């Protein structure tokens, strides 16, 4: 019962932070993205028949994985870890280390330390690369414009997007089986679509 209560508390905690923060510039790293990752974890956990304790840890980590974006765009993973560590003290300190490891793995270029961290990383990446790529890609571009004042020509953005898709790496067997083919398809589709527009 304590575990169900913990996830309920995590959902309320994170939901309230999003609700009470200025999220105007977060076109991609927003509450809907967090919910997508949550659903992705649930789907993967069911498919893989993960033990309840592993599913719980992944869901807990997923709730907090991008909360740092509400405060900073640099080292936001570290901020997310700081927030979850403070939120879990003193009643749930046994989750701190494992959840921190999972969230740390979502940083670009970071190699996951274990299988659960790899699964969270892969599911997080999948929602920016495997599903609705045109939509999420445009949302991220708008986020960079508004939140960081970074502007790109269409050609610059095309090359950045293609490089992003080309360089994606999945670390879990689940990610390789379920997301890698979708990313490959998106790469082909995006390449062809952009070439037609030139």
Residues 6+ apart with CB under 8 A from 22: none
Kindly list the distances between the CA atom of residue 79 and the CA atoms of 54, 66, 72, 111, in Å, as whole numbers in the listed order: 23, 9, 8, 19
Q: What is the pLDDT of residue 124?
A: 98
Token pair of 134 as six digits? 């045109």
For the chain, percent of residues with pLDDT exceeding 70:
95
For the stretch 83-100, pLDDT in tens is 999 999 999 999 999 999
* Contact yes or no for 106/88 (Cβ under 8 A): no
Cβ atoms within 10 Å of 145's Cβ, excluding its own? 14
Q: What is the pLDDT of residue 198?
A: 47
- Left if phi > 0, otherwise alpha if psi is -120 to 50, otherwise beta: which for 109? left
Q: What is the pLDDT of residue 196?
A: 52
Q: What is the pLDDT of residue 44?
A: 98
Q: What is the pLDDT of residue 4?
A: 54
Whole-model pTM?
0.93
What is the residue-averaged pLDDT of the chain? 94
For the stretch 132-144, pLDDT in tens is 999 999 999 999 9
Q: What is the pLDDT of residue 192?
A: 85
Q: What is the CATH number of domain 2-197?
A: 1.10.3210.10
């Amino acid at each position: 019962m304590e575990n169900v209560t913990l996830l309920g508390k995590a959902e309320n905690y994170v939901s309230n932070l999003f609700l009470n923060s200025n999220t105007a510039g977060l076109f991609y790293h927003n509450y809907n993205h967090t919910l997508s990752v949550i659903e992705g974890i649930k789907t993967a956990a069911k498919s893989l028949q993960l033990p309840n304790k592993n599913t719980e840890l992944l869901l807990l980590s997923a709730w907090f994985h991008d909360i740092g974006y509400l405060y900073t765009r640099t080292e936001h993973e570290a901020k997310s870890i700081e927030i979850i560590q403070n939120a879990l003290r003193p009643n749930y300190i046994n989750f701190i280390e494992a959840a921190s490891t999972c969230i740390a793995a979502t940083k670009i270029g970071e190699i996951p330390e274990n299988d659960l961290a790899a699964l969270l990383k892969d599911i997080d990446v999948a929602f920016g690369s495997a599903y609705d790529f045109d939509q999420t890609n445009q949302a991220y571009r708008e986020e960079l414009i508004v939140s960081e004042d970074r502007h790109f020509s269409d050609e610059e953005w095309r090359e950045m997007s293609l490089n992003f898709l080309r360089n994606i790496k999945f670390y879990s067997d689940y990610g390789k089986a379920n997301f890698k083919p979708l990313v490959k398809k998106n790469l082909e589709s995006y390449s062809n679509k952009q070439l037609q527009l030139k």
